[in-house]
Amino acid sequence: MNFINNILEKLIAGRWIAGSNIDDVLEEAKAINKHNISAILNYLGEDITDENKIAETINVYKDLIDKIYEKRINADISIKPTQIGARINNTFLEKNYLYLIKYANSKNVFVWLDMEDHDVVDSTIKLYKKGLKYTNNIGICIQSNLKRSINDLNHLPRNSIIRIVKGAYAVDDKIGYNSKAKVNNNYKLLIKYLFENMGRFVVATHDIKMIEYAKSLNKKYKKNVSYAFLKGIMNEYAKELANSKKVSMYVPFGDQWIQYSYRRMREAGHISLILKSLMRNQKI
Ligand SMILES: Cc1cc2nc3c(=O)[nH]c(=O)nc-3n(C[C@H](O)[C@H](O)[C@H](O)COP(=O)(O)OP(=O)(O)OC[C@H]3O[C@@H](n4cnc5c(N)ncnc54)[C@H](O)[C@@H]3O)c2cc1C
């Protein structure tokens, strides 16, 4: 079973995922850094309800933070709330999050909060605001497929550091946008809001029109904006962009690759794009 898992992982997920362990992801981060791109490292896993597994996840992140620090790698980490307790209870989640951000801060490692399903958005935002009482070395992701996001931005402190994405989780029409056009319109609106109101943010998309839009706004607003990509989708474009702009690349690792890969395949949209993305030389 392990053997089959390994082959499938290499065949399907290899483009998007660095490997199964910390050494794999650090090698990838070093390769990325050579192109003037910083890394955002995520240990795969979500919706965890087993406390032992959560403790193991926290240890992996601690180990990762230590090694980023020791090896002087240019990398942030990105955590999913549901991998550190959001599916158990908010007190447990908060304890784990605060522990990790304080630990990371002591080693000068920046911590992102991934944004997941709509039912954990409230607790994720609350967590982030709580974290800001202890450190500014943290950021949060906001999704344009949710109708609430403009209001969420409006209620975040102005010194928040935001990663703006279109959103990878299914939403129903009551709370979200399902058409590409509406998600894109809202993405533009949120980008504009960030330029007008916030100081530092990351435009995380493979949509070149959105990147161009942000670049054009920055001529006027001159904010601390950077651009971020997922590993394996537009590596060549990212490398090119890194010649003139601040760029980072999100790199997951670990053996829980199925859900993450499923989302990437769904986004590729049709089989030809999936095949193209799998065949293209995505070596960084
Ligand atoms: C750095 C980073 C961090 C992210 N963090 C989160 C998060 O915390 N929470 C969350 O919900 N989402 C997150 N996402 C995912 C995001 O929400 C989108 O699901 C994903 O980026 C696809 O949307 P897009 O912005 O690239 O635009 P799209 O309009 O979907 O795609 C733009 C173009 O990119 C190409 N493309 C997109 N995906 C693929 C693919 N898999 N294979 C081949 N081509 C593709 C398409 O050809 C399309 O033309 C993150 C994305 C990035 C880049």
| 191 in Cβ contact with 150 (< 8 Å) | no
The pLDDT value recorded for residue 14 is: 74
The answer to whether the CB of 205 is under 6 A from ligand 1 is: yes
Summarize pLDDT for 219-252 with one digit per residue, the tens.
999 999 999 999 989 999 999 999 999 999 999 9
Q: Is residue 57 part of a domain?
A: yes
276 CA distance to ligand 1 middle (Å): 16
- Least confidently predicted of 66-75, 148-157, 263-272: 263-272
The pLDDT value recorded for residue 263 is: 82
Q: Is residue 192 part of a domain?
A: yes
The pLDDT value recorded for residue 3 is: 63
Q: Is the pLDDT of residue 51 over 60?
A: yes
3-state secondary structure of 27: helix
Q: Is residue 96 part of a domain?
A: yes
Tell the residue number behind the tokens 């794999």, with chain if given. 24
The pLDDT value recorded for residue 20 is: 84
The pLDDT value recorded for residue 283 is: 61
Instruction: Indicate which residue's Cα is closest to atom 51 of ligand 1.
Output: 204
263 CA distance to ligand 1 middle (Å): 9
Average pLDDT (40-66) is 97
pLDDT band at 17; cut points 50, 70, 90: confident
92 CA distance to ligand 1 middle (Å): 30
Q: Which helix (H) or strand (E) holds 75?
A: strand 75-79
Read off the pTM.
0.93
3-state secondary structure of 212: helix
The answer to whether the CB of 208 is under 6 A from ligand 1 is: no
Q: Is residue 284 part of a domain?
A: no
pLDDT top residue among 267 and 188: 188
The pLDDT value recorded for residue 277 is: 56
134 CA distance to ligand 1 middle (Å): 31
The pLDDT value recorded for residue 19 is: 83
Number of domains in the chain: 1
3-state secondary structure of 41: strand
Q: Is the pLDDT of residue 183 over 80?
A: yes
Q: Are strands 111-113 and 224-230 parallel, antiparallel or unpaired?
A: unpaired
The pLDDT value recorded for residue 272 is: 56
DSSP letter at 43? E
pLDDT band at 192; cut points 50, 70, 90: very high
| 19 in Cβ contact with 25 (< 8 Å) | yes
For a pocket test of ligand 1, which of 225, 267, 279 has the largest count of ligand atoms closer than 8 A to its C-beta? 267
Q: Is the pLDDT of residue 270 over 60?
A: no
Largest CA distance in the chain: 56
The answer to whether the CB of 206 is under 6 A from ligand 1 is: yes
The answer to whether the CB of 139 is under 6 A from ligand 1 is: no
Round to whole Å and give the CA distance between 263 and 68.
Answer: 28
Q: Are strands 200-204 and 75-79 parallel, antiparallel or unpaired?
A: unpaired
From the alpha carbon of 183, which atom of ligand 1 is closest?
Answer: 29
> How far lies 66's CA from each of 33, 72, 189, 268, in Å?
18, 10, 38, 35
Q: Is residue 249 part of a domain?
A: yes
Q: Any idea what the CATH number is for the domain that residue 195 is in?
A: 3.20.20.220
- Least confidently predicted of 3-12, 17-26, 191-200: 3-12
Average pLDDT (149-171) is 97
Which residue range forms the structural domain that includes residue 57? 2-279
The pLDDT value recorded for residue 11 is: 63
8 CA distance to ligand 1 middle (Å): 22
Average pLDDT (160-179) is 96
Q: Is the pLDDT of residue 145 over 80?
A: yes
Structure tokens at 3: 């053997």
88 CA distance to ligand 1 middle (Å): 28
Q: Supply the mean pLDDT for the chain.
A: 92
Average pLDDT (156-184) is 96
| 78 in Cβ contact with 40 (< 8 Å) | yes
Q: Is the pLDDT of residue 10 over 80?
A: no
Q: CA gyration radius for the chain?
A: 18
The pLDDT value recorded for residue 278 is: 59
Q: Is residue 217 part of a domain?
A: yes
Q: Is residue 271 part of a domain?
A: yes
First to last CA, the chain: 30
% of residues, the chain, pLDDT over 70: 90
The pLDDT value recorded for residue 209 is: 98
91 CA distance to ligand 1 middle (Å): 31
Round to whole Å and give the CA distance between 145 and 179.
Answer: 9
Q: Are strands 224-230 and 200-204 parallel, antiparallel or unpaired?
A: parallel
To the nearest 10°, report the CA torsion of 272, 274, 280, 284: 160
- Least confidently predicted of 3-7, 40-44, 195-199: 3-7
Q: Is the pLDDT of residue 25 over 70?
A: yes
Q: Is the pLDDT of residue 195 over 80?
A: yes
Q: Is residue 28 part of a domain?
A: yes
